Amino acid sequence: MILTTAAERRALLDRSRTVAMVGASANHSRPSYFVFSYLRTKGKLDVTPINPAIAEIDGVHAYESLAAYAADRGAPPDIVDVFRKPDDAPQVVREAIAAGAKAVWFQYGVINDEAIRLADEAGLDVVIDRCIKVESARFDGGLALGGMNTGLLTAKRRAR
């Protein structure tokens, strides 16, 4: 099912515990590293990198594939977070389905109609063109609707 509302995305995050981040990077300047690091340290999710080009990120073992993750862990991830080019997304979805994942989360800009259709037809929950870090932080009270930390603790203006 394609999750289009904030309530649906929040429910997915609330019922999920494990995230396999396909395309996670050890490069500190890449968005996939920042999201990985944030979720690992600030969130309640157990995040694991999936990237055949690296052995680990910040001491967390990286798996070469979703199949290797599921085999080693004895269970599939709740969410497969996709940080790959849109053209790579259908193959990632096929691997997520084969591994037994429950949901696929396509990060900002990772939009591929075939991948979305494959995931939806397989019965996976699907989030499209959203950042799991932004949504997680927003639902936990760390961000405003626009995704920025306003630092504002109240809606009332200060007296001048």
| pLDDT for the residue numbered 18 | 96
Give the whole-angstrom CA distance, residue 133 versus residue 111.
Answer: 18
Q: Flag residues of the chain having pLDDT under 70.
A: 43, 141-160
| pLDDT for the residue numbered 50 | 97
- Count the domains in the chain: 1
Instruction: For residue 153, tell me if it sits in a domain.
Output: no
Give me the residues paired with residue 20 across strands. Answer: 48, 80
Q: What is the pTM of this model?
A: 0.86
pLDDT digits (tens, 9 = 90+) for 25-71: 999 989 999 999 999 888 689 999 999 999 999 999 999 999 999 99
Instruction: For residue 84, tell me if it sits in a domain.
Output: yes
Give the structural domain span for 76. Answer: 6-139
Angle at 93 between CA 121 and CA 74, to 5 degrees: 105
User: Helix/strand/coil (H, E, C) string of the chain?
Assistant: CECCCHHHHHHHHHHCCEEEEECCCCCCCCHHHHHHHHHHHHCCCEEEEECCCCCEECCEECECCHHHHHHHHCCCCCEEEECCCHHHHHHHHHHHHHHCCCEEEECCCCCCHHHHHHHHHCCCEEECCCCHHHHHHHHCCCCCCCCCCCCCCCCCCCCC
Instruction: For residue 75, tell me if it sits in a domain.
Output: yes
| pLDDT for the residue numbered 137 | 85
Tokens of 58: 């910040």
Instruction: For residue 157, tell me if it sits in a domain.
Output: no
Instruction: For residue 148, tell me if it sits in a domain.
Output: no
| pLDDT for the residue numbered 142 | 62
| pLDDT for the residue numbered 153 | 43
Instruction: For residue 151, tell me if it sits in a domain.
Output: no
Please state, as a whole number, how many other Cβ atoms lie within 10 Å of the Cβ of residue 136: 22
Give the whole-angstrom CA distance, residue 137 versus residue 144.
Answer: 9
CATH number at residue 39: 3.40.50.720
Length of the chain in terms of residues written:
160
